[in-house]
Amino acid sequence: MSLSKRAEKSLDTDPAFMAIYKALGNKYDAHTNATGTVILGVAENSLMAPELSQFFTQNFSITPYQLTYGDGYSGSIPLRNALAKHLNETLHPTPELTVTPDHVVVTAGVTAMLDMLAWALTEPGEGILIGRPLYSGFLPDVVMRSEAVPVLVELEEEGIDFFGAEAVRRHETAIREAEGRGVKVRALILCNPHNPLGKCYPPEILELYLKLCTRHNIHLISDELYALSSYRTPNNTSSPAFTSLLSLPSTPALIDPNNLHILYGMSKDFGSNGLRLGCLITRHQDLKSSLLGVGRFPWASSASDVLWTKFLLDEEFKARYFATNSQRIAESYMFLREWLQERRIPFVEGTTHGFFMWVDMRELLGDQGREGERRLMEKLLEVGVWIASGESFGSSVPGWFRITFTVEREVLVEGLRRLGRVVDEVRREGLVRGEGVKGVEEVEAEGKERLAN
């Protein structure tokens, strides 16, 4: 029996996707799976995992009340209280935009929240504006169930500053062009700090985006997941620091606060992707009510709720965690930076936040363009390392890749060793033209054979 038309739209039989999916189930481990794939393509931070696992183990306890449906769909009262306090202390909102527990809606991850937002803010066929390159999850999040239309803004042309005023003008042009095609734009997504670029928007540019949204009466969704995943090195001292849209003194005057929505979660700043907790900060009461109406589907687990609450309330551990985390991220960043410089591989300079670097490997593609990027991905999978290709981030320029550096040092060293083998081989022999990406079993078999040599 066939699936529904909705389900059929979600099927993905792309061999490259299947090869990556297989790699995630075959992760490298020096002791138990030395021929597995080194994963440097997922935005996870493992640098604080020992401290986090110990803290959660020592502080985890469940009461009989937490075995019930608890306080409802939007997170427990203790968690929303703790989140409001944390966000006020770290995002520094203006007095008019102070976060209260009533402004916080909790779900099982930010992915679920963005899916719900797209459902609540758009009709099928209406647009959501996003500059590219963009976080790869935005597209399925806003398209798969809600059937919104991503209106991608081209910001990769030479001389265009992704975080500058020209980028704002291009967003406005994209709104007009979309409307000319019959697509009404209902919302703009900003990722600040940005994934995959690792930088923050200057305050004056954020103000321009607020004005843009007000002129066109659209919602502004600010993804601030990496707000505290910051690092300072001698190479980024002149880069803009993070500024939350809640903290700009001009925000209340530049946009209706009901049209501003902030995404935050446990995955990035708190190094806990697997615990699946995210939240939305919004003052829009009708939006909040609609999200509560569908909140039963991505209802967060009481266990995760308890763990995040314990973390947020332990001021001593929290302060020590964020200070150590920032230091370790900086050290890992410098390790990858030096490796790339030694091998004359360009990358985006001046990054300040996140777990990754945006790396320029166009030199290796020759004249093969997107097919060359896919072929390079295939060769990397063959030797057992996965980095994220620019194509998955909506990049219009083939040859860019995102490399995650916040893994255990031994894993990073092994992954870069394998990446270096491919870089050296392609520089020496060129990128052999292929007939597309191979199937899962073929890639896996060739990879094991090459690793054995």
Lowest-pLDDT range of 11-15, 256-260, 349-353, 421-425: 11-15
Q: Set out the domains of the chain in order of their start, with CATH numbers.
A: 5-50+319-452 (3.90.1150.10), 69-313 (3.40.640.10)
Residue 105 has pLDDT above 80, yes or no: yes
Give per-residue pLDDT as tens, 133-161.
999 899 999 998 999 999 999 999 988 99
| Angstrom distance (rounded) from CA 108 to CA 119 | 16
Which pTM does this prediction carry? 0.92
Share of the chain above pLDDT 90, in %: 82
Largest CA distance in the chain: 64
- The DSSP code sequence of 98-166 is ---GGGEEEES-HHHHHHHHHHHH--TT-EEEEEES--TTHHHHHHTTT--EEEEEE--STT--TTSHH
Whether 450 shows a pLDDT value over 60: the answer reads no
State the pLDDT at residue 15. Answer: 53
- The gap from C-alpha 84 to its chain's centroid, in whole angstroms, comes to 22
Mean per-residue pLDDT over the chain, rounded: 92
pLDDT of residue 24: 82
Amino acid 280: pLDDT = 97
Four-point Cα dihedral 414, 416, 421, 427, nearest 10: 180
With a cut of 90, say whether residue 268 has pLDDT above it: yes
pLDDT at 415: 98
Nearest to 105 by CA among 280, 301, 296, 294: 280
Q: Which two tokens stand for residue 252?
A: 């209340």
Q: What is the pLDDT of residue 417?
A: 98
> How far apart are the C-alpha atoms of 79 and 307, rounded to whole Å?
9
pLDDT at 257 (0 to 100): 97
| Residue range 230-265, pLDDT digits in tens | 999 998 889 999 999 999 999 999 999 999 999 999
